Structure 1
């Protein structure tokens, strides 16, 4: 000790080294959750945030008749997905009106969820293995299948008729991927949303439009000059998407969905928007 006192620089160095060691220990203890999946831990708590905020923020489509369509005159957004969002708000907050709807597209919905702009995606979103790497999904709440929409006088009868044909699709959708796989000789032209794609079809920029059958039926209802052809050539199970790792919110959403089905309200909503009760 006497020798150390004669050399204060040595004493100072030892003190600094001890401080660094202690700091490192504390830092390791603090950061352990992140090292073992802190992102998942941070994702937890959506239900609590919704309750604190006093409203659910749902990402929905504004351009998809039957599921989520905005009325330009009134500004109201209506559809099957919208009523599902209201049911979730009612379960969490006791009031179906305590929901804020934010427009998403197939391209923007996952980034908006990951950025925290929305609590949940309820927007005709197909559950896929690729998407499961980015988000968690609820149980399936609707079963769709992809098809083709063409003019009534079109000679196109199905996938076999698409060689050299311009087929319209939406960016970020499974339909854009599937049509390239199932009709590799088709010329696929992608748009930002369904409204733009349907407008392009009507303007003659393509000869067919592909997406989920129920979305195409919604388009057909607005213009009876078009028909669906080719049957369903894929299976498209819709799920509600939640931030990765938020298992508590997934459970809450599945609880709501089960309650809707057990009470018969799901059948009522299905018939209201899609014309029949589920099979």
Structure 2
């Protein structure tokens, strides 16, 4: 009787394991030959929606590489930072890509891939104000006008660490920097990688202390919680991309050599990091 019970339990566990594996996004992509990728399309150099309706950027190239490894084509699903999590949990895509920060809040709802690289939040300001806004205490003042895209970790940072500052949520992440140039805002808290990239197009703006960010974090891709088979595949593909130099080659196409070095460097977190 005991042997029979144990055998039934073993068969039941085996059935559940096989059922879970069959339900994996990995099998879906392999069967359908389509990889659905949620991306905001407003975050250079990672993801940008062009006027002709096509996407470009570091993570756009990475999405095509992942799809190619699966013998599939990419179907990009437009989302926003404000609706990213809701769209992902609504099963609108198989993976979310595009400069996404790994955070504990996100990790509570989804799996995150192995980290792509280290980054950090820094002030992006007019160069004339770089020394003025180089500390968190200087930023957290009532007369400081911060501007951020709605949703995402930039807004969360300002609300947590700069509660005294005046926060404006801006609708267009691609033109938000002009507000700094035109002195309609004083600072934008953003990722060091984005600030270094955007400085090329806005030479009067400066990335403040990119080597010493106010908050440490890593970037990765969002994956469905509980789908171990899919996560293991994506992590292994990402590991190979990093080890064989393909990821660095893609990054170098978008970032200058110094910026790529900065992006891959292990920053030492400041006392405000977590």
Gap change, CA 1:146 and 1:44, over 3 Å in 2: farther
Does the 8 Å CA contact 1:60/1:81 hold for their aligned counterparts?
A: no
Q: Which residue of 1 aligns with 2:5?
A: none
The Cα of 1:241 is off from its aligned counterpart by: 0.4
Aligned CA-pair RMSD: 2.7
**Inter-partner Cα distance in structure 2 for 1:259 and 1:42:** 23
Give unmatched runs, 5+ long, in structure 2: 1-11, 266-274
Could you state the TM-score of these two structures normalised by the residue count of structure 2?
0.78
**Inter-partner Cα distance in structure 2 for 1:114 and 1:267:** 30
**Inter-partner Cα distance in structure 1 for 2:230 and 2:176:** 34
Stretch of structure 1 that moved more, 238-247 or 156-165: 156-165
Which of residues 116, 138, 157 is equivalent to 1:161? 138
Q: How does 1:100-249 map to 2 (within 5 A)?
A: 100-154=75-129, 156-158=132-134, 159-162=136-139, 163-164=141-142, 165-195=144-174, 197-231=176-210, 232-249=213-230
**Inter-partner Cα distance in structure 2 for 1:251 and 1:136:** 11
For residues 91-123 of structure 1, the C-alpha deviation after alignment (integer angstroms, 9 at most, x for no partner) is: 111x6xx11122222211111111111111112
Stretch of structure 1 that moved more, 247-256 or 196-205: 196-205
Q: Which residue of 2 aligns with 1:53?
A: 32
Could you state the TM-score of these two structures normalised by the residue count of structure 1?
0.77
**Inter-partner Cα distance in structure 2 for 1:221 and 1:43:** 47
Tell me the matched-pair count. Answer: 240
Give the 3-state SS of the residue equivalent to 2:80 in structure 1: coil
For residues 233-274 of structure 1, the C-alpha deviation after alignment (integer angstroms, 9 at most, x for no partner) is: 111211110111111110110011011122221221222222
For residues 203-260 of structure 1, the C-alpha deviation after alignment (integer angstroms, 9 at most, x for no partner) is: 5432111111112223222221211124411112111101111111101100110111
For residues 56-98 of structure 1, the C-alpha deviation after alignment (integer angstroms, 9 at most, x for no partner) is: 11112311121111222x43311111111111101111x6xx1
Q: Which has the higher helix share?
A: 1
Does the 8 Å CA contact 2:181/2:205 hold for their aligned counterparts?
A: no
The Cα of 1:146 is off from its aligned counterpart by: 0.7
